Amino acid sequence: MKHVYLDNAATTQVHTTVIAKMQDALANSYGNPSSTHSFGRTAKTAIESARKTIAKYINAQPSEIIFTSGGTEADNMIIRCSVRDLDVKTIITSKIEHHAVLHTVEELEKKGSIQLLFVNLDAFGNPDMAHLETLLQSDDSKKLVSLMHVNNEIGNKIDLEAITLLSKKHGALVHSDTVQSLGHYNWDVKAFPIDFLAAAAHKFHGPKGIGFAFIRKNSGMSCMISGGSQERGLRAGTESFHNIVGLEEAFVHAYENLDREKKYVEELKSYFIEKVKKEIPEAKFNGHSGDLDKSTYTLVNVCLPITEDKAMMLLFNLDIKGIACSKGSACQSGSDAGSHVLNEILSIEDMKKPSVRFSFSSYNTKEEIDYTIGVLKDIIEA
């Protein structure tokens, strides 16, 4: 059976060089980084080298990179510590954020810790800048604006620099879940004054279970996890050394090959869009995912002209044919509630049809896309 992996927004294949570096770390650098003997010092030196490497690629200071277990922990750390330590009383976000953000802010609101405000979205899922400014001016409370740079379901790419500058004009802190963005776009955190970012290695061919938070120097935050002085005192616990060096290797590979791989994947996405328009003309691209200028080059989200009875078995039938993709995000795959993102932007009629996210990497080929479109067409016409 043919195997086609088009679910790279959920997780990516780990590069062979990353695996090799992690294996070497597990075999030869097994000292506890907090130990003062040579075994510990070797591991500690490698961790600090990884921190400097990552900081260099996004133009941050090494002390601003805090290793976490992934994007979800980074988002939680930033949001919860902003409320606890930085006197944030109001959080402004959108209803199409990742649940790592949405569930966290909803819990804080339920506990009475914050006032929660949602910025209006246009028909494509973009934040309304005029409404955002109205929310920023709503009262004198300390505010945190949390909006993701690239949406994980529909791929919309927002103007994060404009949002940051507007928010700063009104004295707000700014956080962005950049899990679908870091490793895929060049970043310069000195170019505009964003306060916090979150990243996950497994979105750019690194290991699962490791990521980092960018926390602007002198933020005033203290630890969320207590028990030791690791990670500049912001995250206690023995560092996952092999994962950290794997993250570093994946990050270096991503940025050293960014232009070439971006061009290749962009061509794959463009080819996919052309094939869908030609072979399945009644299909619609959700959000801005069909627009190469307004969305990430790594994914499309397609509303397919399939009857309700076929829709229930669509992902199963694709899986039978060896095609891996997602209905909504992978984090929601066990839920029957449907995509909260699509619920915000699609009509009632289109919500009755299946929408599928196909996401690409440099490991994919045009032949795989031809096969996938052929299988989709056969299912629709059967």
Q: Give every CB contact of residue 336 below 8 A, 6+ residues apart in sequence.
A: none
Report the alpha-carbon distance of residue 77 to residue 16 in Å, rounded: 31
Domain shared by 82 and 42, yes or no: yes
Out of 256, 290, 314, a domain closes at 256
pLDDT of residue 332: 46
Domain shared by 206 and 303, yes or no: no
73 φ, ψ (degrees, to nearest 5): -65, -40
Percent helix, percent strand, percent coil in the chain, to nearest 5 = 45, 15, 40
What's the pLDDT tens digit per position in 199-230? 999 999 999 999 999 999 999 999 889 999 89
Catalytic residue list: 331
Domain shared by 8 and 103, yes or no: no
Out of 218, 240, 256, a domain closes at 256
Domain shared by 183 and 305, yes or no: no
Domain shared by 245 and 128, yes or no: yes
What's the pLDDT tens digit per position in 87-112? 999 999 999 999 999 999 999 999 99
Overall average pLDDT of the 233-261 stretch: 97
Domain shared by 295 and 153, yes or no: no
pLDDT at 327 over 90: no
pLDDT at 331 over 70: no
Confirm if 245 and 239 have CB atoms less than 8 A apart.
no
Domains contained in the chain, number: 2
Q: Which of 1-5, 127-131, 254-258, 369-373 has the lowest mean pLDDT?
A: 1-5
Which residues form the domain of 333? 4-12+258-381
Domain shared by 279 and 251, yes or no: no
pLDDT of residue 146: 98
Q: Minimal CA–CA distance to 114: which of 147, 84, 91?
A: 91
Overall average pLDDT of the 180-196 stretch: 97
CATH code, domain carrying 61: 3.40.640.10
pLDDT of residue 382: 84
Domain shared by 182 and 286, yes or no: no
Confirm if 213 and 78 have CB atoms less than 8 A apart.
yes
Inter-CA distances, 324 with 92, 320, 356, 364, Å: 35, 9, 11, 12
Domain shared by 293 and 210, yes or no: no
- pLDDT-above-70 percentage for the chain: 97
Domain shared by 199 and 68, yes or no: yes
Out of 256, 285, 307, a domain closes at 256
Q: Minimal CA–CA distance to 13: which of 181, 150, 203?
A: 203
Q: Output the pTM of the full model.
A: 0.95
pLDDT at 175 over 90: yes
CATH code, domain carrying 328: 3.90.1150.10
237 φ, ψ (degrees, to nearest 5): 120, 145
The sign of the torsion formed by the CA atoms of 58, 102, 68, 244 equals: negative
- The one-letter amino acid code at 367 reads E
Token couple for 301: 């989200």
